[in-house]
């Protein structure tokens, strides 16, 4: 309402005084449209259960379906059974969770301290990593499964909590573990801030100005380097002229032959370096 009243008042003043002009200092200059043509697009939201957000650099691999299920691997009866009976107890004829169990067991075996290790931090993290990757693959096939999504998020948070604990108390084992499991640990930020258009445009503008400054400084440096031989030649002529004039006038010579020879050596080294580059 106040803006409308101000606009009406300015219109009345201009109507009564057509020749009235405003000073440049009174012109509104904030909230202007930038001429730098910097385009900003709001980043798309990435779900917390996606591999790029959870830190998993690989997915669940293909498991050999000709293997026996875990609970039948030590069975002595299968050793004397025929091929058809053996095939019925393989992963090919078992539910999917049996394949997931095999993958979780194989993942835990890569970091296990000894044969009976089931409760160490790295073994638990390895088991959770296998389960996470199996659930991520299943969630890609069934994205509307809300219960699976919630369970996956809870498991990712649990793994991140234990990774944080291991990173704090045993950093060498932590690095060894994430290298073996091929995962990336992403600690929470110290300060949280929302992604806004204004803040992002400020950063992009600052980056644009820094790049422009570096580009112009590089161009100016190249220009000076191209003019350096001519500058040295002019310096040699000037020093020789000053030295000759001082000798003819009978005054104290302030320019020595060593200084002139030093500049000549600089010029020869510079020309030789450029010749080798070309």
Distance (Å, whole) CA 231 – CA 225: 10
Candidates 97, 185, 205; CA nearest to 148 is 97
H helix and E strand count, the chain? 10, 0
Angle subtended at Cα 103 by Cα 100 and Cα 108, rounded to the nearest 5 degrees? 125
The pTM of the full predicted model, rounded to 2 decimals, is 0.65
Question: Is residue 134 very low, low, confident or very high in pLDDT (cuts 50, 70, 90)?
Answer: very high
Integer angstrom CA distances of residue 89 from 7, 70, 78, 107, 145: 84, 10, 9, 22, 29
Question: Which pLDDT score is estimated for 21?
Answer: 53
* pLDDT tens-digit series, residues 92-132: 999 999 999 999 999 999 999 998 999 999 999 999 999 99
Residue 246 has pLDDT above 90, yes or no: no
For 64-101, give one letter per residue: b (16+ CB within 10 A) or e: eeebbbeeeeeeeeeeeeeeeeeeebbbeebeeebbbb
Question: Which pLDDT score is estimated for 31?
Answer: 46
Residue 258 has pLDDT above 90, yes or no: no
Residue 70 has pLDDT above 60, yes or no: yes
Candidates 69, 57, 142, 54; CA nearest to 103 is 69
Residue 79 has pLDDT above 80, yes or no: yes
User: 183 has which bridge partners?
Assistant: 56
Range 180-208 average pLDDT: 88
Residue 68 has pLDDT above 70, yes or no: yes
* pLDDT tens-digit series, residues 206-233: 998 999 999 999 999 999 999 998 999 9
Question: Which pLDDT score is estimated for 20?
Answer: 52
Q: Are 125 and 48 in contact (CB under 8 A)?
A: no
Question: Which pLDDT score is estimated for 104?
Answer: 94
User: How much of the chain, in percent, has pLDDT values that exceed 90?
Assistant: 48
Question: Which pLDDT score is estimated for 34?
Answer: 61
In the predicted model, what is the mean pLDDT of the chain? Answer: 86
Distance (Å, whole) CA 73 – CA 96: 17
Distance (Å, whole) CA 147 – CA 139: 10
Give the distance, in angstroms, between the CA of residue 215 and the centroid of all CA atoms in the same chain. Answer: 23
* pLDDT tens-digit series, residues 4-43: 445 545 555 545 555 555 555 555 555 455 667 788 888 8
Max Cα separation, the chain? 119
């Amino acid at each position: 309402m106040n803006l409308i009243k101000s606009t009406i008042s300015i219109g009345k003043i201009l109507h009564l005084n057509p020749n009235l002009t405003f000073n440049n200092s009174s012109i509104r200059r904030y909230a202007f449209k930038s001429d730098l043509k910097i385009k900003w697009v709001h980043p798309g939201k990435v779900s917390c259960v996606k591999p790029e957000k959870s830190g998993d650099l690989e997915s669940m691999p293909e498991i050999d379906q000709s293997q026996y299920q875990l609970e039948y691997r030590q069975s002595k009866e299968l050793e004397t059974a025929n091929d058809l009976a053996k095939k019925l107890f393989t992963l090919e004829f078992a539910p999917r969770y049996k394949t997931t169990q095999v993958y979780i067991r194989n993942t835990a075996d890569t970091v296990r301290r000894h044969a009976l290790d089931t409760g160490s931090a790295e073994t638990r993290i390895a088991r959770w990593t296998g389960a996470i990757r199996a659930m991520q693959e299943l969630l890609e096939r069934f994205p509307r499964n809300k219960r699976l999504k919630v369970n996956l998020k809870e498991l990712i948070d649990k793994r991140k909590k234990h990774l944080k604990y291991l990173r704090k108390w045993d950093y060498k084992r932590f690095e060894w573990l994430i290298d073996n499991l091929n995962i990336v640990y992403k600690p929470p930020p110290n300060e949280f801030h929302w992604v806004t258009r204004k803040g992002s445009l400020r950063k992009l503008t600052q980056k644009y100005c820094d790049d422009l400054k570096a580009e112009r400084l590089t161009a100016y440096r190249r220009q000076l380097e191209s003019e350096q031989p001519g500058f040295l030649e002019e310096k040699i002529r000037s020093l020789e002229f000053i030295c000759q004039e001082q000798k003819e006038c009978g005054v104290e010579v302030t320019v020595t032959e060593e200084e002139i020879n030093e500049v000549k050596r600089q010029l020869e080294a510079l020309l030789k370096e450029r010749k080798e580059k070309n």
